[in-house]
C-alpha cells in the first residue's frame, strides 16, 4: 500500500452534484445545462467524479453538492486531475474553491455518519 498524500480523508459517497461551467459564454462555451456525473468520493478539500463529458484541466465549475443526509451546499470546483484507462468515462479530481467552514463541517458530519454505517 502506498503512502497517502492527501490532506483530508476521502469517503465513498451517496452524493449528487450538478455542474455548470463558469466563463465567458462566447469564449469557453458556458452552458446552463448541468453536466451528468457519477461521484466517486468527497473530502473537505474536494470531490472526485466520473463523466463521459470532456472537461478541461484547470477549468472551473459552479457546483451544487447534495449529500444523502439531505444537507447541501454550493461551491466552485477546479478540475485538478484527470485519469482515463480507456474507459468511456474519465475520472476527474477537483478541489473546492472558496468553500466555507460551515460547508466543510457538513462534509465532516456526513463522513462520520457514513463511516459509522459502514462498520
Report in angstroms the alpha-carbon separations of 81 from 58, 71, 87, 93, 110: 8, 26, 16, 5, 24
Residue 58: what pLDDT?
92
Query: In this predicted model, which residue has the larger pLDDT, 98 or 13?
Result: 98
Segment 46-71 shows an average pLDDT of 88
Residue 4: what pLDDT?
42
Task: For residues 6 and 102, give the distance between their C-alpha atoms in angstroms, rounded to a whole number.
Answer: 21
Query: Taking the model in full, what pTM does it have?
Result: 0.77
Segment 24-35 shows an average pLDDT of 55
Q: Name the CATH architecture for the domain at 11-114.
A: Beta Barrel (2.40)
Q: How do the domains of the chain map onto residue ranges?
A: 11-114
Q: Is the pLDDT of residue 13 over 70?
A: no
Amino acid at each position: 500500500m502506498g503512502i497517502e498524500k492527501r490532506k483530508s480523508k476521502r469517503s465513498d459517497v451517496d452524493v449528487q452534484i450538478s455542474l455548470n461551467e463558469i466563463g465567458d459564454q462566447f469564449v469557453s462555451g458556458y452552458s446552463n445545462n448541468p453536466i451528468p456525473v457519477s461521484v466517486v468520493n468527497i473530502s473537505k478539500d474536494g470531490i472526485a467524479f466520473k463523466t463521459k463529458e470532456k472537461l478541461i484541466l484547470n477549468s472551473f465549475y459552479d457546483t451544487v453538492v447534495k449529500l444523502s443526509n439531505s444537507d447541501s451546499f454550493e461551491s466552485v470546483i477546479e478540475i485538478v486531475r484527470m485519469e482515463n484507462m480507456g474507459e468511456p468515462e474519465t475520472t476527474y479530481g477537483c478541489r473546492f474553491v472558496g468553500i466555507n467552514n460551515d460547508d466543510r463541517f457538513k462534509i465532516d458530519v456526513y463522513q462520520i455518519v457514513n463511516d459509522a454505517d459502514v462498520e
